[in-house]
């Protein structure tokens, strides 16, 4: 089971950014943000945590009509630890034009967290 749900914006940060809450269990690919023709998704902040049930590896990808392209290498997240890519105004990841934002998890554990992203 995996979900990506918009939970609003953060005051003082570009109003076109959205905070997405994420939960994923087991080995799964999750479409976090649906692509829109001619628009590019940019990820400005990401925080993911692995639960006590197992470690995880997470890869960020952008997918569209031409297939999926990884825009990160795999991030290993140990049991009961977190991965934090802080907001500094510059995107950590930039997707392809019209592409979906995808998180792929490999592992048996559950991850949860948030992503701050814009689309335009």
Per cent of the chain over pLDDT 90 is 29
**In the predicted model, what is the mean pLDDT of residues 64-87?**
86
Which pLDDT score, from 0 to 100, does residue 4 have? 47
Q: Please report which confidence band the pLDDT of residue 2 belongs to, taking 50, 70 and 90 as the band edges.
A: very low
Q: Please report which confidence band the pLDDT of residue 22 belongs to, taking 50, 70 and 90 as the band edges.
A: confident
Measured between alpha carbons, how far is 25 from 46 in angstroms, rounded to an integer? 18
Q: What is the pLDDT of residues 27-72, one digit of tens each?
A: 888 888 999 999 999 999 999 988 867 778 889 999 876 778 899 9
Structurally, the chain folds into a number of domains equal to: 1
For residue 79, give its domain range: 2-119
Length of the chain equals 120
| Secondary structure (DSSP) of 11-63 | TTS-TTEEEEEEEEESSEEEEEE---TT--EEEEEEEEEE-TT--EEEEEEEE
For the chain, the C-alpha Rg in angstroms (whole number) is 13
Do 113 and 32 contact (CB within 8 A), yes or no? no
Cβ neighbours, 10 Å, residue 74: 14
100 vs 54, higher pLDDT: 100
CATH number at residue 27: 2.60.120
Q: Please report which confidence band the pLDDT of residue 92 belongs to, taking 50, 70 and 90 as the band edges.
A: very high
């Amino acid at each position: 089971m995996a979900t990506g749900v918009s939970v609003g914006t953060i005051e003082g940060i570009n109003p076109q950014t959205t905070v997405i809450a994420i939960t994923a269990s087991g080995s799964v690919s999750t479409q976090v943000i649906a692509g829109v023709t001619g628009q590019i998704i940019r990820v400005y902040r990401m925080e993911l945590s692995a639960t006590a049930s197992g470690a995880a590896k997470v890869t960020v990808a952008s997918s569209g009509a031409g297939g999926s392209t990884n825009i990160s290498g795999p991030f290993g997240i140990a049991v009961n630890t977190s991965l934090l890519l802080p907001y500094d105004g510059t995107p950590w990841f930039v997707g392809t034009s019209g592409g979906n934002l995808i998180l792929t998890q490999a592992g048996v554990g559950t991850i949860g967290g948030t992503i701050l992203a814009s689309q335009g």
